[in-house]
């Protein structure tokens, strides 16, 4: 462009480029505005959790604890303080019971899923067997059905084996969810057959192949089911609501909404502490989360799998030359 | 071709791997569902056979009709909005190389936020004396009862879109990424503009992604019950009284007969839709 002898062609190119840049800047702005709007509620939650009791009552008392007048509004606390967190830490044993209940139930479900869903996904991905299509359809159907439909059948069993109103009532049905099988199947199907064939020729049995090739190469998929699973069960509302009557067994997701009424002062801090484990995990594993989402896209996962296959192949080669 | 002996051994191994999952699914879902199916034809007390009576009762139930209608209306309203908005965002996000990672994070973040944490915030926002009405009053407009009128429906739609925009955007991005770059270059050489490229190259090849994204958004739409139930309680305004609320209330009243009949109908309906989906769109290989 700096050259003196601009031909007409180049000039129009320059104009195009400038126009394109302007468009790009415009779209960037739109996207950023949307993105900001999406993240705004979280920022405000953080800001409000730093308010002192008096300020919080002035702005939110009208709504949350039935006070008079209108709610006030301020984006930032005037006198930021961590007192709400302190109060939460020292004065609310129920909150911590609920926190550990949620942790126990979530981790229980995830560990169970590891033991159950990983081999099942391996079977669907690497073997041909009679009845595979029908079973796959069944798993897909189970994945799609909303909780309320399977709620009755779950209740009938849990009632019969006297598990109602125990941690097991939430954990056991969760372990046999179909979604992780679904996502992992995509990952495992992306492992190239040659690697497995080679191991078989070397005399490795099916279990050895699964443990020494399947699991290491499917690690990213396993991470993504754990991550998606944590977000899902940390946020579980329906199963504990239906299967748990005793309040001391309730996870945070059920306990927290009630807390807002009785302890307004620490409600925001409690909300922030609740979302902390989930968001921290989210930030550390965003890549895996995105992979998991893509793999949950039924057919599209295959192409993504293809791409990761290349990675597997180069990894496999690396190992081959080392060994 | 593999020899028959090896194929048989392979099938055996496969079922061994599947065993834990099959046993659990059998115990917790399949067997009890057979029981549900049986009960849907029985009387509540004793075990007299009543034929289709339970089904007739559910279909004639006013609450059921309201809930089914609301659920259908909710799907019809939120799916097109979510799908088109997330596609637009995906197309735009793809064109910005600089901030892409941050933007993705921003859009995905709501997914990681438990519904319970947002309840306090949403209540501040939508209460009669809350921030939305404060804003409206500042602008000289009259406040609305956001959760106690027909607006509740749209509040719920907004919650759903807020929560799922990032998820759908990632799915679209994967779909868009699978379209070969050369096709666009070839089209540009022939003088196609940005819109023509989108209309004739991008859209047709996104059909599969559309199926998938629509299916998953549909599944996720049932989860909006969390927000609905936490925001408005078990008996919300009638514009957001969904099938999930109804099931829940039947459960609380132990109205097992109606629940079993409705569950059977929903399973059959969903299974049918899934079959049609599989036949028409994407075949599992």
SS3 string of A76-139?
A: CCCCCCCHHHHHHHHHCHHHHHHHHHHHHHHHHHHHHHHHHHHHHHHHHHHCCCCCHHHHHHHH
With respect to residue B18, please indicate whether it lies within any of the assigned structural domains: no
Number of domains in chain B: 1
Please give the Cα distance from B228 to B72 (Å, whole number). Answer: 16
* Lookup: tokens for B199: 């209309």
Q: Who among A120, A176, A300 is closest to B18 (CB)?
A: A120
Q: Who among B24, B115, B256 is closest to A175 (CB)?
A: B24
Those of residues 44-83 in B touching chain A at CB distance below 8 A are none
pTM, to two decimals: 0.83
Nearest CA distance, A322 vs chain B (angstrom): 31
| B106 to A39: CB separation less than 8 angstroms, yes or no | yes
With respect to residue B141, please indicate whether it lies within any of the assigned structural domains: yes
* A2 has pLDDT over 70: no
Which chain B residue is nearest to residue A34, measuring alpha carbons? B107
Please give the Cα distance from A192 to B15 (Å, whole number). Answer: 22
Q: Who among B33, B109, B111 is closest to A153 (CB)?
A: B33
Please give the Cα distance from B219 to B157 (Å, whole number). Answer: 15
Which pLDDT does position A309 carry in this prediction?
A: 39
Those of residues 46-65 in A touching chain B at CB distance below 8 A are 48, 60, 62-64
What does the H/E/C string look like for chain A? CCCCCCCHHHHHHHHHHHHHHHHHHHHHHHHHHHHHHHHHHHHHHHHHHCCCHHHHHHHHHHHHCCCCCCCCCCCCCCCCCCHHHHHHHHHCHHHHHHHHHHHHHHHHHHHHHHHHHHHHHHHHHHCCCCCHHHHHHHHHHHHHCCHHHHHHHHHHHHHHCCCCCCHHHHHHHHHCCCHHHHHHHHHHHCCCHHHHHHHHHCCCCHHHHHHHHHHHHCHHHHHHHHHHHHHHHHCCCHHHHHHCCCHHHCCHHHHHHHHHHHCHHHHHHHHHHHHHHHHHHHHHCHHHHHHHHHHHCCCCHHHHHHHHHHHHHHHHHHHHHHC
Please give the Cα distance from A230 to A226 (Å, whole number). Answer: 6
Which pLDDT does position B53 carry in this prediction?
A: 85
Instruction: For residue B262, give every residue at least 6 positions away whose Cβ sits within 8 Å of its Cβ, in sequence order, or none.
Output: B58, B64, B243, B246, B247, B250
* B43 has pLDDT over 60: yes
| A157 to B28: CB separation less than 8 angstroms, yes or no | yes
Which pLDDT does position B4 carry in this prediction?
A: 74
Residues from chain A that touch B95, judged by Cβ atoms under 8 A, are 24, 27
Residues from chain A that touch B174, judged by Cβ atoms under 8 A, are 294, 297, 300, 303-304
Q: Are B162 and A291 in contact (CB under 8 A)?
A: no
Quick one: pLDDT band at residue B253, thresholds 50, 70, 90? Answer: confident
Residues from chain B that touch A153, judged by Cβ atoms under 8 A, are 28-29, 32-33, 35-36, 263
| A235 to B114: CB separation less than 8 angstroms, yes or no | yes
With respect to residue B11, please indicate whether it lies within any of the assigned structural domains: no
Within chain B, where are the H helices?
Answer: 4-25, 31-39, 53-60, 62-94, 100-112, 115-126, 131-138, 151-177, 181-189, 194-197, 203-205, 207-222, 225-232, 243-252, 256-280
Please give the Cα distance from B200 to B28 (Å, whole number). Answer: 48
Residues from chain B that touch A38, judged by Cβ atoms under 8 A, are 106-107, 109-110, 162, 165-166
Those of residues 62-81 in A touching chain B at CB distance below 8 A are 62-64, 69-73
| B112 to A281: CB separation less than 8 angstroms, yes or no | yes
* B47 has pLDDT over 80: no
Q: Who among A175, A281, A297 is closest to B212 (CB)?
A: A297
With respect to residue B46, please indicate whether it lies within any of the assigned structural domains: yes
Residue B126, domain extent: 40-280
Quick one: pLDDT band at residue A301, thresholds 50, 70, 90? Answer: very low
With respect to residue B266, please indicate whether it lies within any of the assigned structural domains: yes
With respect to residue B35, please indicate whether it lies within any of the assigned structural domains: no
Which pLDDT does position A66 carry in this prediction?
A: 62
With respect to residue B274, please indicate whether it lies within any of the assigned structural domains: yes
Q: Who among B13, B95, B120 is closest to A271 (CB)?
A: B120
Residues from chain B that touch A45, judged by Cβ atoms under 8 A, are 117-118, 120-121
Please give the Cα distance from A299 to A68 (Å, whole number). Answer: 55
Which chain B residue is nearest to residue A173, measuring alpha carbons? B28
Which pLDDT does position B233 carry in this prediction?
A: 76
CATH code, domain carrying B168: 1.10.3720.10
With respect to residue B251, please indicate whether it lies within any of the assigned structural domains: yes
* B23 has pLDDT over 90: yes
Nearest CA distance, B242 vs chain A (angstrom): 11
Instruction: For residue A64, give every residue at least 6 positions away whose Cβ sits within 8 Å of its Cβ, in sequence order, or none.
Output: A260, A261, A264, A267, B120, B123, B124
Q: How far apart are the first and last CA of chain B?
A: 18
| B116 to A73: CB separation less than 8 angstroms, yes or no | no
Nearest CA distance, B223 vs chain A (angstrom): 8
Please tell me whether residue B233 adopts helix, strand or coil conformation: coil
* A314 has pLDDT over 50: no
* B155 has pLDDT over 70: yes
Please tell me whether residue B42 adopts helix, strand or coil conformation: strand
| DSSP structure class, residue B193 | -
Q: How far from A147 is each of A152, A242, B247, CA to CA, in Å?
A: 9, 10, 10
Please give the Cα distance from A196 to A187 (Å, whole number). Answer: 15
| A146 to B219: CB separation less than 8 angstroms, yes or no | yes
Quick one: pLDDT band at residue A205, thresholds 50, 70, 90? Answer: confident
* Lookup: tokens for A320: 């081959």
In this structure, of A253-262, B16-25, B202-211, the range with the lowest mean pLDDT score is A253-262
Write the burial class of residue A222 (CB in 10 Å: 0-12 exposed, 13-18 middle, 19+ buried).
Answer: buried
Cα–Cα nearest to A266, from A101, A68, A83: A83
Please give the Cα distance from A130 to A122 (Å, whole number). Answer: 16
Nearest CA distance, A2 vs chain B (angstrom): 25
| B248 to A116: CB separation less than 8 angstroms, yes or no | no
Which pLDDT does position A55 carry in this prediction?
A: 77
Length of chain A: 323
Find the mean pLDDT for residues A17-36.
79
Which chain B residue is nearest to residue A229, measuring alpha carbons? B112
Q: Is A257 on the interface with B (CB under 8 A)?
A: yes
pLDDT tens, position by position, A83-134: 888 888 887 888 889 999 999 999 999 999 999 999 999 999 989 889 898 9
């Amino acid at each position: 462009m700096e050259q003196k002898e601009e031909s007409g062609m180049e000039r129009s190119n320059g104009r195009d480029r400038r126009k394109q840049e302007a468009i790009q800047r415009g779209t960037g702005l739109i996207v950023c505005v949307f993105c900001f709007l999406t993240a705004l509620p979280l920022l405000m939650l953080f800001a409000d959790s730093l308010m002192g009791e008096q300020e919080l009552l002035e702005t939110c008392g009208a709504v949350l604890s039935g006070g008079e007048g209108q709610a006030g509004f301020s984006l930032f606390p005037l006198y930021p303080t961590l007192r709400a967190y302190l109060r939460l830490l020292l004065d609310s044993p129920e909150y911590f019971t609920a926190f550990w209940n949620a942790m126990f139930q979530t981790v229980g479900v995830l560990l169970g899923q590891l033991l159950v869903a990983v081999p099942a996904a391996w079977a669907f991905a690497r073997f041909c067997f009679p009845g595979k299509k029908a079973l796959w359809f069944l798993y897909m159907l189970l994945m799609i059905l909303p909780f309320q439909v399977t709620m009755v059948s779950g209740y009938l069993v849990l009632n019969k084996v006297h598990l109602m109103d125990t941690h097991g009532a939430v954990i056991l049905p969760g372990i046999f969810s179909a979604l992780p099988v679904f996502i992992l199947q995509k990952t495992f199907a992306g492992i190239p057959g040659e690697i497995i064939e080679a191991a078989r020729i070397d005399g490795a049995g099916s279990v050895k192949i699964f443990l020494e090739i399947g699991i290491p190469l499917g690690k990213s998929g396993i991470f993504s089911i754990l991550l998606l699973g944590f977000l899902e069960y940390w946020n579980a509302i329906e199963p504990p609501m239906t299967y748990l009557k005793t309040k001391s067994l309730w996870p945070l997701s059920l306990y927290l909404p009630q807390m807002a009424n009785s302890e307004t002062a620490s409600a925001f801090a409690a909300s922030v502490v609740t979302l902390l484990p989930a968001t921290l995990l989210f930030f550390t594993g965003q890549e895996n989360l995105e992979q998991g989402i893509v793999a949950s896209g039924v057919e599209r996962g295959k192409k993504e799998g293809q791409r990761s296959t290349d990675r597997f192949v180069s990894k496999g080669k690396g190992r081959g030359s080392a060994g | 071709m593999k020899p028959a002996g090896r194929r048989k051994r392979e099938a055996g191994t496969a079922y061994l791997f599947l065993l834990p999952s099959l046993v659990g699914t059998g115990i917790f879902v399949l067997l009890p569902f057979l029981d549900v199916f049986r009960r849907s034809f029985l009387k509540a007390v004793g075990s007299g056979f009543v034929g289709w009576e339970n089904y007739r009762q559910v279909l004639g139930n006013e609450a059921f009709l309201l809930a089914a209608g609301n659920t259908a209306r909710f799907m019809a309203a939120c799916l097109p909005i979510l799908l088109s908005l997330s596609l637009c965002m995906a197309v735009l996000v793809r064109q910005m190389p600089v901030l892409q990672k941050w933007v993705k994070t921003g859009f995905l973040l709501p997914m990681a936020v438990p519904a319970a944490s947002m309840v306090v915030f949403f209540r501040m926002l939508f209460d009669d004396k809350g921030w939305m009405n404060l804003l409206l009053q500042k602008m000289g407009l009259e406040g609305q009862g956001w959760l106690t009128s027909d607006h509740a429906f749209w509040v719920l739609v907004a919650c759903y879109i807020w929560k799922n925009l990032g998820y759908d955007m990632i799915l679209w991005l994967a779909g868009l990424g699978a379209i070969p770059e050369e096709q666009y270059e070839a089209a540009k050489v022939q003088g196609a503009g940005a819109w023509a490229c989108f209309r004739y190259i991008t859209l047709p090849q996104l059909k599969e992604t559309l199926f998938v994204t629509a299916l998953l958004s549909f599944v996720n739409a049932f989860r909006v019950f969390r927000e609905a139930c936490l925001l408005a309680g078990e008996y919300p305004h009638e514009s957001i009284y969904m099938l999930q609320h109804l099931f829940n209330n039947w459960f609380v009243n132990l109205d097992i007969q109606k629940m079993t009949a409705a569950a059977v109908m929903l399973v059959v309906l969903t299974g049918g839709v899934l079959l049609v989906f599989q036949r028409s769109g994407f075949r599992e290989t």
